[in-house]
Amino acid sequence: MKRYFCLLSVFFFSVISVIAQNDNSNPDTVLSVDNQMILLSQINIENPNRDTSMNSSTSNSIFIQQVGQRNDINANVNASRSNIVLVQNGNNNVIEIDETSFEIQKTISQNGQNNVVLDYSFDPKSSTGLELMQEGDNLYFERFGTNELSNSLKFKMTGNARSIIIRSF
């Protein structure tokens, strides 16, 4: 009887210690893994791991990622080939695209609050490109039309309450 009691008590205490070891996870390790996941997600957004060059076949793609509240995207695109990446991190951000072109290459990223991007172009024979990164609050970007000088633009807007307006005819 003593023997069974000793074996039962050893078994009981070993199970409790194993459960305690499993339950006693390190919160720093979990936080570190979460931070790595977020960092990897942001790296993939900044530099999408895919070929963004247009090939000879007809293809149209749009990638949209929105994190936050009241972010709006209105995209009306008419193109033979397009590759569009739109990312919004923050609240009350707006992207509005109304474009008719032969070929469109566009990457727009908004990080912050109350940022606006308006992009309008109506030349079905042209190829257009735009890389725009907004980092801050109350940033405003507007482009109306494209020509040879403005068909492939790159901008990085930082700070607060800044505006860029482009008129191309």
Token duo for residue 135: 């980092």
Each residue's pLDDT tens digit, 2-54: 666 665 565 555 444 434 334 444 444 343 344 444 443 444 444 444 444 44
Looking at residue 7, what is its pLDDT? 59
Q: Which residue has the higher pLDDT, 96 or 1?
A: 96
Q: Which residue has the higher pLDDT, 159 or 7?
A: 159
Would strands 152-160 and 103-113 be described as parallel, antiparallel, or unpaired?
Answer: unpaired
Strands (E), the chain: 60-67, 72-78, 81-91, 94-100, 103-113, 116-122, 127-137, 140-144, 152-160, 163-167
Q: What is the three-class DSSP state of 103?
A: strand
pLDDT of 109 above 90: yes
Looking at residue 114, what is its pLDDT? 97
Band of pLDDT at residue 147, cut at 50, 70 and 90: confident
Q: Where are the alpha helices (DSSP H) in 24-107?
A: 27-46
Each residue's pLDDT tens digit, 42-75: 444 444 444 444 444 568 999 999 999 999 999 9
Least confident of 3-7, 56-60, 134-138, 164-168: 3-7
Looking at residue 9, what is its pLDDT? 61
Mind giving me the DSSP string for 8-38? HHHHHHHHHHHHHHHH---HHHHHHHHHHHH
Average pLDDT, the chain: 78
